[in-house]
């Protein structure tokens, strides 16, 4: 007895036990959903032992979390009136008193550094003693601020545009915890909203903690949108094809249980929900529906043929079960290749996707036949879609095209390959942290505001190890650091830097009675006088501790980046590295360029190098499946070509339409390849059966396979097309691109499998038309005979 026939008998004889088992597993997985949590840190795309990660972790050990800065900005000339000026400073004072805040830096906090000649030390004096009550007083403060204090330029104000900025440093202990989210939504935003309502001023808000929080909330909101959208669109299309409420209901039941399992697995594995893992539940809906299409379509075909329910259900499981298993294994393989990538983000996505794809197959194979076994036979109207004239016309056209237009198919294929290769050379790589963020959201517009006014919000750090205690404050080291500062100022993509150099320059200015023209590094002669004031003073200790470590061995130079792509970032890093290599000999200093933004960009580049590996691995795995199933080397090549071709077209489209390769769009190729091979397997499974029936005659076998599988392949491709199109409802650029590209790729894969694949089989019939070449499959894909089972 055939294996799948035994499986069919086992499932149908133990219907109640199977349903009970599914209910228990569903309940257990549903109970794991309480462990689901959203990620509170940026996705790290690099392996833990990667050089960029090691350098960044070393920086964190010395100076702590760098991404704890929230910035408030205001660009409005009316802020320099007494009421609004005082209200702005009072706003900052409100934050300063909160438990979640480490400290704030604003105009109200500005202290002027002054030299006390008698005590030979520096002291700090407030910029103004009491809150100004007249416009004249505010103007005096503004004049001092913009013209006398270059130390604070680009840190707290932009003197060219009059824009003010306030820095709020959140406590590092809560920055990667749920407390951060509560603070942003329940404290920060309400306080700012009230301030805006009271003063009629527009406050811009940004900084990595703020952006990450709002972005995570967006992901959370969109999971529901994706799931509902995917359910709705697939249900509508499914009903349009099958015109059966119960078929649609059964399908929705299967995918809903699949969604519960998907969320349950996320909780069970204790994975965080990221922008990638958020795609798993809708992905399961989109991939689960084609399983239902093949199973239900086969059941209805069998009922129409002989009208016996038990026989029909047995054939559904035994005929479609193995082919569907193989299609789901190949789809899961496309995702499982990410397991071999060292990036935790992609590895988790690969594990979740592959586990859930196999789960949805098992659910469909068990639930659909069992539920139908409890129901009466489908009525004539439920089977009418099998005789729809329009679908017949589509299949007729495909058959005629394959029969009479094979040269045209090959010619079109060659043109598409050439255009695809041209497009591939136009593809760019993007490592931007914010490119995928929703362009319509206020927080994205605020990012652009701070980029224009202050040079960016994404920190880029340069860590300097002088290898000696107190080595930082040597004049020779400070001059070398100043060379880096000058280089940074030459890049329009980077903001003015903050380092110990700024503080030493400010000390010299203070020594010369606050004259701004002395805002520069001291000479060798001046150094001993100025530094003697510094030694006697604790006034700058607070400022120094965040930019020089307690031993004086390590220093940091902090700048902020605009949203630059990986190519431009490579150029910037290369030029900075040249200056570093020239100024800081490696035998005396260790200098590294680091920061979250740089780690993310390097992560993107790392993924690109792994894309080729993971996709090649997917192709090899699927080729092995083909070899295992059909045991025919020519068949492996013939079956892979129609599935690699759509990938080339997709890559070409990305080049022509300027859609960059990035962590989100990188998934397109593995998803599309894994799914498009499904159609090939269903077609070849039927083709293999027809070869036996037609005594190894290729032409009638190809046309018969095309007629029987064409309808299901057409249905599933349309469902997949519109299912993935729901991803374009997202506000994330990468998710929109992913949905659009996969949709187009799968549509092209359908055309390729229904036109190019049969054409290749007919063209190379002499090479594959005998049993010696096309051997008996390792696994019986279609059972040679039907075996009756008891209902």
Structure tokens at 86: 């005082």
Model-level pTM? 0.75
Lowest-confidence segment of 201-205, 296-300, 647-651, 670-674 by average pLDDT: 670-674
CA atoms within 13 A on the CB side of 419: 14
CB 53 within 8 A of CB 599: yes
Q: How confident is the model over 158-172, as a mean pLDDT?
A: 89
What is the C-alpha to C-alpha distance for residues 627 and 624, in angstroms, rounded to an integer? 5
Q: How confident is the model over 678-701, as a mean pLDDT?
A: 78
What is the C-alpha to C-alpha distance for residues 619 and 637, in angstroms, rounded to an integer? 11
Q: How confident is the model over 169-196, as a mean pLDDT?
A: 89
Q: Name the region of 514 (left: φ>0; alpha: ψ -120 to 50; beta: rest).
A: left
Report domain extents, the chain: 1-35+220-373, 631-780
Q: What is the pLDDT of residue 634?
A: 74
Q: Which of 627, 620, 621, 619 is nearest to 646 (CA)?
A: 619
Higher-scoring residue by pLDDT: 675, 517: 517
Q: Which of 132, 153, 150 is nearest to 141 (CA)?
A: 132
Q: What is the pLDDT of residue 554?
A: 94
Q: Which of 65, 64, 68, 42 is nearest to 210 (CA)?
A: 68
1-35+220-373 and 631-780 have identical folds: yes
Q: Taking 90 as the threshold, does the pLDDT of residue 556 lie above it?
A: yes
Q: Taking 50 as the threshold, does the pLDDT of residue 782 lie above it?
A: no
Higher-scoring residue by pLDDT: 772, 471: 471
Higher-scoring residue by pLDDT: 81, 67: 81
How, if at all, do strands 458-465 and 203-206 pair?
unpaired
What is the C-alpha to C-alpha distance for residues 162 and 408, in angstroms, rounded to an integer? 66
Encode pLDDT of 82-138 as tens digits.
999 999 988 888 888 888 998 888 888 788 888 887 788 888 888 888 888 999 999
Encode pLDDT of 611-636 as tens digits.
677 777 777 877 777 777 666 777 77
How, if at all, do strands 203-206 and 101-105 pair?
unpaired
CATH code, 631-780: 1.20.1640.10
Q: Which of 308, 287, 312, 304 is nearest to 368 (CA)?
A: 312
What is the C-alpha to C-alpha distance for residues 323 and 314, in angstroms, rounded to an integer? 15
Q: What is the pLDDT of residue 377?
A: 80
DSSP string, 710-777: HHHHHHHHHHHHHHHHGGGGSSSHHHHHHHHHHHHHHHHHHHIIIIIHHHHHHHTHHHHSSTTTSPPP
What is the C-alpha to C-alpha distance for residues 780 and 771, in angstroms, rounded to an integer? 15
Encode pLDDT of 418-430 as tens digits.
999 999 988 887 7
Q: How confident is the model over 357-380, as a mean pLDDT?
A: 88
**How far is residue 336 from each of residues 272, 329, 746, 777, measured CA to CA in Å?**
18, 10, 19, 25
Encode pLDDT of 704-758 as tens digits.
888 878 877 887 888 888 888 888 888 777 778 888 888 888 888 888 888 898 8
Q: How confident is the model over 454-476, as a mean pLDDT?
A: 89
Q: Can you say how many angstroms the Cα of residue 273 is from the centroid of all Cα atoms in its chain?
A: 11
Average pLDDT, the chain: 83
Contacts of 460 (CB under 8 A, 6+ apart): 494, 558, 559, 560, 561, 593, 594, 595, 597, 598
Higher-scoring residue by pLDDT: 562, 359: 359
pLDDT tier at 766 (50, 70, 90 boundaries)?
low
Encode pLDDT of 338-354 as tens digits.
787 777 777 888 899 99
Structure tokens at 19: 């349903």
CA atoms within 13 A on the CB side of 466: 21
Q: What is the pLDDT of residue 790?
A: 36
1-35+220-373: CATH topology: Multidrug efflux transporter AcrB transmembrane fold (1.20.1640)
């Amino acid at each position: 007895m055939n294996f799948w026939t035994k499986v069919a008998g086992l499932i149908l004889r133990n219907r109640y036990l199977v349903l009970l088992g599914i209910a228990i597993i569903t309940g257990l997985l549903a109970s794991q959903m309480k462990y689901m949590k959203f990620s509170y840190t940026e996705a790290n795309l690099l392996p833990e032992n990667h050089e960029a990660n090691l350098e960044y972790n070393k920086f964190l050990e010395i100076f702590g979390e760098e991404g704890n800065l929230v910035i408030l900005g205001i660009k409005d000339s009316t802020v320099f009136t007494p009421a609004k000026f005082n209200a702005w400073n009072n706003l900052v004072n409100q934050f300063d008193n909160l438990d979640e805040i480490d400290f704030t830096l604003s105009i109200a906090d500005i202290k002027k550094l002054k030299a006390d000649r008698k005590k030979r030390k520096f002291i700090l004096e407030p910029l103004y003693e009491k809150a100004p009550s007249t416009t004249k007083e505010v103007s005096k403060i503004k004049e001092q601020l913009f013209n006398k204090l270059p130390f604070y330029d680009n840190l707290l104000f932009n003197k060219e545009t009059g824009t003010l900025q306030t820095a709020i440093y959140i406590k590092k202990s809560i920055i990667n915890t749920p407390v951060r989210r509560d603070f942003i939504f329940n404290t920060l935003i309400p306080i700012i909203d009230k301030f805006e309502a009271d003063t009629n001023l527009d406050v811009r808000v940004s900084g990595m903690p703020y952006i990450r929080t709002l972005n995570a909330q967006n992901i959370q909101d969109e999971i529901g949108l994706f799931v509902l959208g995917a359910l709705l669109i697939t249900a509508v299309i499914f009903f349009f094809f099958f015109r059966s409420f119960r078929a649609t209901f059964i399908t929705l039941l299967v995918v809903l249980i699949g969604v519960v399992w998907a969320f349950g697995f996320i909780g069970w594995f204790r994975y965080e929900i990221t922008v990638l893992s958020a795609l798993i539940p809708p992905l399961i809906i989109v991939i689960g529906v084609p399983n239902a299409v093949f199973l239900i379509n086969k059941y209805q075909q069998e009922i129409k043929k002989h009208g016996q329910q038990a026989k029909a259900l047995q054939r559904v499981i035994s005929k479609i079960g193995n082919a569907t298993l193989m299609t789901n294994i190949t789809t899961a393989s496309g995702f499982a290749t990410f397991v071999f990538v060292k990036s935790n983000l992609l590895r988790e996505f690969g594990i979740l996707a592959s586990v859930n794809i196999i789960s949805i197959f098992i659910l469909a194979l068990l639930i659909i036949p069992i539920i139908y076994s409890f129901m009466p036979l489908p009525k004539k109207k439920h089977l009418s879609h099998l005789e729809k004239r329009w679908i017949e016309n589509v299949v007729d056209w495909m058959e005629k095209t394959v029969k009479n237009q094979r040269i045209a198919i090959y010619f079109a294929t060659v043109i598409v390959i050439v255009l695809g290769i041209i497009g591939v050379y136009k593809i760019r790589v993007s490592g931007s942290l914010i490119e995928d963020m929703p362009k319509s959201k206020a927080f994205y517009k605020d990012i652009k505001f701070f980029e224009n006014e202050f040079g960016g919000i994404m920190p880029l750090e340069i860590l300097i190890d002088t290898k000696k205690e107190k080595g930082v404050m040597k004049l020779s080291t400070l001059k070398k650091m100043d060379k880096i500062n000058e280089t940074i100022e030459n890049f329009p993509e980077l903001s003015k830097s903050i380092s110990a150099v700024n503080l030493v320059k400010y000390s010299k200015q203070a020594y010369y009675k606050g004259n701004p023209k002395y805002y520069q590094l001291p000479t060798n002669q001046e150094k001993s006088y100025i530094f003697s004031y510094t030694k006697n003073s604790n006034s700058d200790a607070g400022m120094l501790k965040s930019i020089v470590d307690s031993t004086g061995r390590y220093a940091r130079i902090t700048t902020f980046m605009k949203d630059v792509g990986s190519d431009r970032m490579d150029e910037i890093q290369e030029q900075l590295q040249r200056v570093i290599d020239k100024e800081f000999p490696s035998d005396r200093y260790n200098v590294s360029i680091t920061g979250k933004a740089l780690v993310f960009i390097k992560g993107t580049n790392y993924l690109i190098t792994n894309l080729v590996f993971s996709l090649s691995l997917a192709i090899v795995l699927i080729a092995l499946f083909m070899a295992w199933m059909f045991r025919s080397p020519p068949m492996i090549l013939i079956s892979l070509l129609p599935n690699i071709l759509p990938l080339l077209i997709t890559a070409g489209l990305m080049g022509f339409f300027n859609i960059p390769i990035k962590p989100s769009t990188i998934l397109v190729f593995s998803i599309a390849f894994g799914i498009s091979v499904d159609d090939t397997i269903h077609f070849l499974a039927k083709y293999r059966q027809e070869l036996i029936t037609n005594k190894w005659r290729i032409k009638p076998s190809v046309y018969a396979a095309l007629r029987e599988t064409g309808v299901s392949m057409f249905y599933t491709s349309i469902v997949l097309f519109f299912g993935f199109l729901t991803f374009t409802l997202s506000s994330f650029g990468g998710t929109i691109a992913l949905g659009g590209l996969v949709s187009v790729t799968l549509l092209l894969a359908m055309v390729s499998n229904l036109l190019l694949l049969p054409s290749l089989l007919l063209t190379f019939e002499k090479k594959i038309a005998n049993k010696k070449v096309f051997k008996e499959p390792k696994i019986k894909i279609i059972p040679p005979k039907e075996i009756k089972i008891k209902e």
